[in-house]
Amino acid sequence: MSGSNDETLQSYGGRVRDYIEGTAQTVSGEAKDWIDAALSGLPATARILELGSAFGRDAAYIASRGFEVDCTDAVAGFVTELQARGLNARRFNVLTDELGERYDLIFANAVLLHFERDEFEFILKKLIRSIKAGGRLAFSLKKGQGEAWSSEKIGAPRFFCYWERQTLEPLLADAGFAAWTIEEARTSRAHAEWLFVRALAP
C-alpha cells in the first residue's frame, strides 16, 4: 500500500461520521443515470460487488432495483455502519486483498480516484480477472489533470488523482477491456466535472 493511500484511509477512518453527514444521502442526476446504465440488462441473479461502499447509499439504491450487492470497504468504521444498516459487508482493500470470486458487475463510485496512477493500472488489471466473461466494471473519477491533497468535506487530508478521457482509454485497453463508455458530466458535487465509466470484459 502506498503512503498516500494509507494516509487517505486513516483520514476516512477518523472521520466516518463527518463523511456521512457531508455526503448526499440519495442517488440522483448523472450518477443515477450511470448506475442505471451499469445495471441495464443484468439478470436478477447477477453477482455484484461494490468497492468502497462507505455508508451504503449506492448499494441501497442498487438493491432497490432488485439486485443483491456484496458491499466492501477498507475502513472498519464504514463496514460497521454498513452492517448496522442491514447490508452484507466485509472489510476489503483492493490493493492488498484478493477477490477470490468472479462477478457480473464490479462497481466503484468515487473510489478509484484515491489511487496513484501506477496503483490504478494495477487495480484495473486485478479487477478484470474477477469479472465474468461479458461482465462489467463501472467506476467514476474526477475529471482534470494532476494530483492533489484536499482536506475539504471531512477536515482531514485525502489524496486525489484526476483523469482525462485520453489518458484513461489506453489503460482500459491495456488492462484487457473489450469496450467502454466514458461519459463526461458536470454535476452538483463540490468538484463539478466527473467521468462516469462503464467497461466491458471480453
Q: Please write the tens of the pLDDT for every residue from 24-66.
A: 999 999 999 999 999 999 999 999 999 999 999 999 999 999 9
Residue 137 has pLDDT above 90, yes or no: yes
The pLDDT of residue 2 is: 64
CA distance 13 to 6: 10
CATH architecture of 3-200: 3-Layer(aba) Sandwich (3.40)
Residue 189 has pLDDT above 80, yes or no: no
Residue 188 has pLDDT above 90, yes or no: no
Domain residue limits, the chain: 3-200
- What is the mean pLDDT of the segment spanning 112-131? 98
Q: 32 or 188, which is more confident? A: 32
The pLDDT of residue 187 is: 76
- What is the mean pLDDT of the segment spanning 106-124? 98
Q: How far is CA 184 from CA 32, 50, 196, in A?
A: 14, 22, 7
pLDDT tier at 10, thresholds 50, 70, 90: very high
Residue 190 has pLDDT above 90, yes or no: no
Task: State how beta strands 193-200 and 48-50 pair.
Answer: unpaired
Find, among 29, 30, 34, the residue nearest to 199 by Cα: 34
The pLDDT of residue 109 is: 98
